[in-house]
Structure formats: structure tokens, C-alpha cells
Chains A and B, each alone.
Chain A
Amino acid sequence: MSISRRKFLGWVGAAGLSATIGKSATASTHKHFTGYPGSFAVLHDTTLCVGCRSCETACNKVNDLPSPDKPFADLSVLEKKRRTTTKAFTVVNKYNDPERPKKPVFFKKQCNHCLEPACASVCFVRAFTKTKTGAVIYDSSVCVGCRYCMVACPFEIPTYEYDQVLTPRIRKCTMCYPRVSKGQLPGCVEVCPMEALTFGKRQDLINFAKQRIQKYPDRYVDHIYGEHEMGGTSWLYISGVPFKELGMREDLGVTPAPELTAGALSSVPMIVGLWPVLLTGLYAVSKRKEKIAQTEQENAVALALDKADASPQSIISEATESQTGEES
């Protein structure tokens, strides 16, 4: 429901835009929904990140997560590629720049808060909501624990409390929705000493990122990751190395996740509408065939019986006729 309304709004917006600027606003991406107007985003400039893990510390604190196995000051954990877990909604990974082997590149990973989230579209109990602030939040009070969101997420972000017996939850970054609602910055953004993270309106951040790329073309690859990936995300990244070197998929495409299953789902009403008609028709045909066969059989039997009844009489009458003939 909400998605179709969103799309509708998107189309209205696109139509309005094309009317004013005279060309299709979405021709390059076929994308209609570009986020709630004025929604927020975070821009991660990986060229500024030094891998200090302050963001991880802050995230742990604001989300009341259990303390990690190794302290946050221990940077040796960066040597191993990590993913988000139930204890860590964000992780910083270290990658080597193939062109500058001595200078590692750091990349912060957390929920990307898709504009049209796969997790929200596949949740059969609507536990996920894309809020007007841009955050994708999760409501554990309805979650059944089917973990389809984890299957669906192209960024492999949601994690699950497999060790909880009665209250297992999906755990993931909330883009600090409670803090942002109160006018505060997300924990990680607030604490970053290098200003590698910028919080702001998504459209402003895209413009800002474009300006930076134009201003320092030698420093950045010409790609804002998250501007279009999976229909766009509320976390955006700029980098000096291709994103696939940073463990980010570059083959995700620009189709928003809900569209991947929309076609299959749209066939459902057709099956419900047409199948009963077709099947009842087949039933009627087979029933009629049966009836015709039965009638034919009955007729054949009746005919045979008639014949059988008639024959002795005719023999007698023929015999009497021939007799009378002979006599005369």
C-alpha cells in the first residue's frame, strides 16, 4: 500500500519535474521514488577515515550493546574482515589500496537505510519501517523471526539473536532514529574525529559529494555509492578506490528491491480470478463427456433391446406371411 502510494507520489513528482524542465527526470535510472522529501542521510568520505574505531565505540554506547571481546582501542581487529553482528551495528574494515600499498583504506559498514528497503518489502508482518527521517527501523514486538529480511538484504546487514530462546530479535543500525528525532546527531557521526561522516539532507549531501569529486578529481573515483544502488540508500559513500575493493558489491543494479518481487506478486490476483473459471470449465467438459457417453450407452442398450424384442415377432410375421403366400 505505502509503496504504491510512494510510487504514485514519485510519478506525480516526476511528471511535474518533466513539465518544468522539459525532459524526463528519471530516464537514467527508471527510479521514481527518491526518498521522502527532506529526509536525512549520512555521507561517509572514506578518504578521511583513519580507522580509529571511535564510531564503533560510540555506536556501542548509544545502543547499549554488550562490550566487545576485544577493547575498541585494540586496532588489531581491523586485520580481519568483519561484518555486522548482534553486538556491533557498525564495523570498520581495513582494505589495501592496490595503487598505494602503504596507505590502507578504511571503510565503515552499517545498515545503508535503503530508500525502498528489501527488508521492509519482504517482511510479512511489517516489522520494518522506512521513516520520514530516512532511518529504517525495526519493531521487535511483532517480529516472528523468519529471517527473510536477512536473506533479502543485499548488503548483508541484519543480524539475529540466535542464542536467545524466547525473545530473539533482528539487530541492526537504526541510524540513531531516537537521537535524530530529538534533534541530535547519530552517535557515530557526532564522535568521528576526522569528520569522515557528514549528516544532512540526502539531496544536499549528494550535491556536496558531487562538488568534492569535481573539486578533487584525483582524490576520488567518480561514483557516489548509494546514490542509485538498489534504488538509492540513505548512507552515501565516496572513495579514492573502486568500491569493489572495499567489499561493496558494484553489481547490485539500480532496481529498488520491492520491484524484484512485484511482478510475481501481481500475478496472484490473475490466478485467483482465472484459475477457478478454467478449472470449472474443464470440470464441466469432463462431466459433459461423461454424460454423453452415458446417454450413448443407454441408447445403444435400448436399441439392442428393441431389436432383440422385435426380432422374434418379425420372424413369426415373416413366417406367417410366407405361409399365407404359399396357401394362396
Chain B
Amino acid sequence: MTEETIAENKSFFNLFNICAGIVVVIGLYITYLRFTGGLAAVTNLSDNNPWGIWISFDLLCGVALAAGGYVTSAAVYLFGMKKYHSAVRPAVLTGFLGYSLVVLALQYDVGRPWRLPYPLVVQQGTTSVLFEVGLCVAIYLTVLFVEFSPAALEWLGLKKARNLAVKLTILLTIFGVVLSTMHQSSLGSLFLIAPSKLHPLWYSPYIPIYFFVTSIIAGLSMVIFESTLSHRFFAYKMDETHLKEANGITLGFGKAAAYVLAGYFAIKVMGISAGNNWHYLKTGYGTWYLVELIGFVALPALLYAIGVREKNLILIKWTSVLAILGIILNRFNVCLVAFNWQLPSSERYFPHWMEIGISVFIVMIGLILYRFIATRMPILYAHPDYKDAH
């Protein structure tokens, strides 16, 4: 690493620290308002619009974008793609932080957060999709914690505990895929209950499958995106294996994402056909739907494919940003834009700046924690004591 890049990194981190400080201060202030004045003090939520961006972004996008953990560990440990091994730890860390932050965000959103364990310990509403989501997220967060723990235990020098956790890898990976399949899809199933409120182009009996498939796209794209950022800012932490495997990971994950996006495009078109919703495409909502489908599904599929064929890493990296934005757009469309579409615009929802403030605050906490962990624990390199363990 040259001196120039170190200096560049330093000035970046100074800037980062300043931004992080401001965001955290504002976030703490809004937190104070939220827990002293109730939801009404900081949100634009209403009786017609009970779910805002804390659900559409923090929960729905948060869970989807944290899918890299199960996607990567399944590829490496279950499908035997050993050449992507160095992507596992960063992906599992992102997944673990992502799910933790989802749970943190829920503390703000639900009315009585201290009762969040009630569905598990007091009364079980098993007919609710949300019960399944809650149960899966709770268990999966535990699974991710154990999956992440070897890195922390190596850092702490707790060999025995670390070896025990590593022994569980295959079991945990299978658990992770099963739980992710269920709750990623169930986040879509949440909306099956409201055919009269969600626009027919987005309401589909296939919505659980759409949510599951898009979580794979989100997971693959997040691994690419995140590895790009890590290389920019934490390259000095990476060992030889990590640096050597990075391009292969970008190419391989880009290729997988291209295929999954193409398949997703196909099942979306099948969904329109099955519901015979073609005539809605001529409306304003139809145009918006096509923007999502062409601009944020078909286009990234194509760009990923071109990038892989021409081994254009920069194109693949930028496409991952487009694909991630597409997932976010999809979740916003389902939860906010196309939801309550029949209400007059005066009764529709637009987030309060303090709602956005909390969402930014929570993302910032994620970045701070990621940086804290990645600069200390063996995430981007193999711990010297366990080099041959993989």
C-alpha cells in the first residue's frame, strides 16, 4: 500500500467520522423524541398508513440486503464452491449486522417494543405470517451470531469455543438456508392478506417467491458491492488469498446474479400473465411497474451478463449498485407506493424527515460496527493461527 492511499484513507475516515458523529447525534435526539413522545412525535404514520419506511426500508430492505450471509455460505459450504471462501466471513458479518439492525429498527417501529417476545412466550398467533417471520428472524439471528462467532473468538483467542463453533458450520448453513427461505418469502406473504389495498401489478400469489428470489439477487449483489467498498477502504487488512480471490468472486457472483435476475424477470412476466394484468401496464402505475421491471431487473441482468462475458469488473461492480437499488425500489413499491393506491393522494403517506433520520442513523450504526469489527477481527484475512483450517 502506497503512502498516498494511506493518506487518502485517513482523510476519508476523518470525513467519515465527522459524518458519523453528526448522524449519531441527530439519531440519538430523534430516539429521545420517539421514546418520550410516541410514534406521533416523529412519524407521519396514520390510521390508513400504519407502516412507513421503518418497515419498508429498515425491515423489508434490511432483511433482503442481509441475504448475502446465507447465499455465500450455502455456495461455499453446501455447493462446494471453495474458491469463494474468502467472501464468507464478510458476508456473514454483514448478515449478522443487518439482522441485528432490523431488530433494532423494530424497537422504534412497534408500539410496545418490550413486548416483542410476547408472540413466542405469551400467546402464539400461528395463523399469522408475521408470527412465522418473527420466529424465523429470531432463530436466524441466533444462527448468524454463531456463524459469525469464530471470527470474534479467534480475535479473543478462545480456541476451544472457536473450534466448537466451526464444527457446527454445515449444520448452521443448512439451518440458515431453511430459515431464510421461509422468512424471506414470508415478508412477501405479509401482503397476501391485502389484495384490496395493493395494486394488482404488485399483488400476486407468487409474491412470496418473488421476495425469496430477489433476496438471492440482493445477497449476491451486496457481496459484490461490499467487497468493492472493502477493497477501497480496508485493502490493507486483506491477506493474499483474499486479494487473489476477489476478482473471481466478483465474476462468479455477477454471473450468478445475471442468471437469477433473468429468471426473476421471467417469473415476473409470468405473474402478469397469470393475473391477466396486462391492461394495467397502460396506466400510470403500469409505467412505474415497467420502470422497475425493465430498468431495475432486465437492465442489471443484461449488464451483469455483459460484464461477466467481457470480464469487465467495473461494470459488474456498478451493476451491483443498480441491482441493489432495484431491490430497494421493489420493497418500497410493494409496501408504500403501490399500497393504498386507491386512496386519494391527501390520505397517502410520505415519511417525516425524522423517520428518514432514524433509518440513516441505523445504517450508520451498521457502518460503524462493520468498520470496528473488520479492522480488528479476522474478517478480511485468515487468522495466522488458523490459516490451514479452511
Contacts and interface: CB of A to CB of B under 8 A. Distances in A.
B36 interface: yes
Q: Which residue, A142, A148, A154, A286, has most C-beta atoms of chain B within 10 A?
A: A148
A199 to B, nearest CB: 27
Interface size class of B (residues with CB under 8 A): 35 or more
Q: Is the interface of B mostly helix, strand, loop or mixed?
A: helix
Nearest to B117: A144
Contacts, number: 178
A125 B37 CA distance: 25
Contact of B125 (A83, A124, A252): A124
Interface in B195-224: 195-197, 205, 208
Interface stretch (A26-34, A71-79, A101-109, A269-277): A269-277
Q: Which residue, A151, A263, A280, A290, has most C-beta atoms of chain B within 10 A?
A: A151
Given A260-B193, A264-B192, A283-B170, A125 B111 contact: no
A119 B362 CA distance: 30
A121 B192 CA distance: 12
A89 to B, nearest CB: 12
Contacts of A276: 174, 178
B111 A160 contact: yes
B78 A279 contact: yes
A285 B78 CA distance: 9
Q: Which residue, B50, B74, B123, has most C-beta atoms of chain A within 10 A?
A: B50
B160 to A, nearest CB: 26
B306 interface: no
A147 interface: yes
A46 interface: no
B377 interface: no
Interface stretch (B12-20, B39-47, B274-282, B319-327): B39-47
Contact of B123 (A85, A120, A125, A252): A125
B124 interface: yes
A168 interface: yes
A156 B197 CA distance: 10
A282 interface: yes
Given A143-B112, A160-B50, A290-B80, A125 B125 contact: yes
A124 B196 contact: no
A124 to B, nearest CB: 4
Interface in A126-180: 126-127, 142-148, 150-152, 154, 156, 158-168
B194 A151 contact: yes
Closest 6 CB pairs of A and B: A145-B111, A286-B80, A147-B50, A124-B131, A162-B40, A168-B111
30 contacts: A3-B127, A83-B47, A124-B119, A124-B124, A125-B115, A125-B119, A125-B122, A142-B123, A144-B111, A145-B115, A146-B130, A147-B110, A150-B50, A151-B193, A151-B194, A152-B194, A160-B47, A160-B50, A163-B39, A164-B111, A260-B195, A263-B205, A264-B186, A264-B208, A265-B132, A265-B189, A275-B174, A283-B80, A283-B174, A286-B79
Given A124-B124, A162-B40, 18 more contacts: A1-B126, A124-B130, A144-B110, A144-B116, A147-B45, A147-B111, A162-B38, A162-B43, A251-B196, A253-B195, A261-B129, A261-B192, A264-B185, A275-B177, A275-B181, A276-B174, A279-B174, A279-B177
